[in-house]
C-alpha cells in the first residue's frame, strides 16, 4: 500500500520532474557565470531549494548586493512556503508531527498544487505526499551541478527563454482548480495586488501581497456561500 501510494504520487509528479531538469540546468549555468563551482551551485540548490529565490539571488549576486539584503530577499521570497504548508497541513492528519515537518521541506509550488488537487478526491497518505514532492529535489540538485559544469558550452542562457517555464508549468497545474467566476475573482484580486505592490515597493513583497489578497477574497467568497 505505501509503495503503491508512493508510485501514484511519483506518476503525478513525473511531468514536473521533466520540466525541472532544464530549468535547474539553466540556473546552474547562471550560477557558474557568477563564479560558483558546480559543488557550490548544487549545494545552494539543495539547501535553498527555491527556484524563484535562487534566480533572484543570482541577479542580486551579480550586482554585488550586500549579504544582509540577499538574506532578506531570499527569506521574503520563501515566505510563500509558510502559506503553502499551512494549506496542505489540513490534509496531513495521518502524519506524525516529525514526519510532517520533514516532508514539508520538499513542498514546492507544483507539489502543493498536485497534492491539493488530489486531496479534493481522496485522503493524502504520507507515501503519496513523499512521491508527489521529494523526487524533484535530487533532480534539481543534479541538473544544477550539470548546468554549472557545462554552462559555458551552452551559450547565453537568457536566449533560451526558460525563465518563463516556472510560471507556465505552475499555470498548467492549477488550471484544474478552476471553479467558475469565484476562481476568476480570486485570481484577479491576487494579480492586481501583486502588480500594485510591485510598482510601489522594491523587492519581492508583491508575491506575498498577491497571495494575501487572493486568500482574503477566497475567505470572503466562502463566507458568502455559507450564508446562502
**pLDDT value of position 204:** 63
The more confidently predicted of residues 63 and 32 is 32
DSSP state of 65: -
**Helix (H/G/I), strand (E/B), else coil: 178:** coil
pLDDT of 7: 93
b/e map 86-112, b = 16+ CB within 10 Å: eebeebbeebeeeebeebbebbbbbbb
Q: Is 125 exposed, middle or buried (0-12, 13-18, 19+ CB in 10 A)?
A: buried
Mean pLDDT value across residues 187-202: 86
Cβ atoms of residues 21 and 143 within 8 Å:
yes
Per-residue pLDDT, averaged over 101-127, amounts to 89
Residue with cell 549555468: 29
pTM: 0.73
Size (the chain), residues: 228
Q: What are the sequence ranges of the domains in the chain?
A: 2-176, 178-228
Amino acid at each position: 500500500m505505501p509503495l503503491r501510494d508512493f508510485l501514484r504520487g511519483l506518476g503525478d509528479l513525473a511531468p514536473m520532474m521533466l520540466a525541472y531538469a532544464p530549468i535547474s540546468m539553466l540556473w546552474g549555468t547562471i550560477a557558474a557565470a557568477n563564479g560558483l563551482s558546480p559543488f557550490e551551485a548544487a549545494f545552494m540548490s539543495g539547501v535553498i531549494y527555491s527556484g524563484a529565490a535562487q534566480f533572484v539571488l543570482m541577479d542580486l549576486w551579480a550586482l554585488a548586493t550586500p549579504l544582509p539584503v540577499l538574506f532578506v530577499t531570499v527569506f521574503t521570497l520563501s515566505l510563500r512556503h509558510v502559506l503553502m504548508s499551512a494549506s496542505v497541513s489540513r490534509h496531513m492528519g495521518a502524519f506524525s508531527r516529525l514526519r510532517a515537518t520533514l516532508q514539508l521541506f520538499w513542498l514546492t509550488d507544483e507539489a502543493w498544487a498536485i497534492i491539493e488537487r488530489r486531496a479534493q478526491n481522496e485522503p493524502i497518505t504520507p507515501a503519496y505526499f513523499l512521491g508527489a514532492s521529494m523526487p524533484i529535489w535530487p533532480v534539481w540538485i543534479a541538473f544544477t551541478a550539470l548546468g554549472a559544469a557545462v554552462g559555458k558550452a551552452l551559450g547565453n542562457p537568457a536566449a533560451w527563454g526558460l525563465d518563463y517555464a516556472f510560471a507556465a508549468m505552475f499555470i498548467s497545474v492549477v488550471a484544474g482548480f478552476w471553479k467558475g467566476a469565484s476562481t476568476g475573482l480570486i485570481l484577479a484580486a491576487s494579480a492586481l495586488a501583486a502588480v500594485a505592490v510591485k510598482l510601489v515597493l522594491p523587492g519581492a513583497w508583491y508575491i506575498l501581497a498577491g497571495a494575501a489578497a487572493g486568500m482574503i477574497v477566497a475567505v470572503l467568497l466562502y463566507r458568502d456561500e455559507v450564508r446562502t
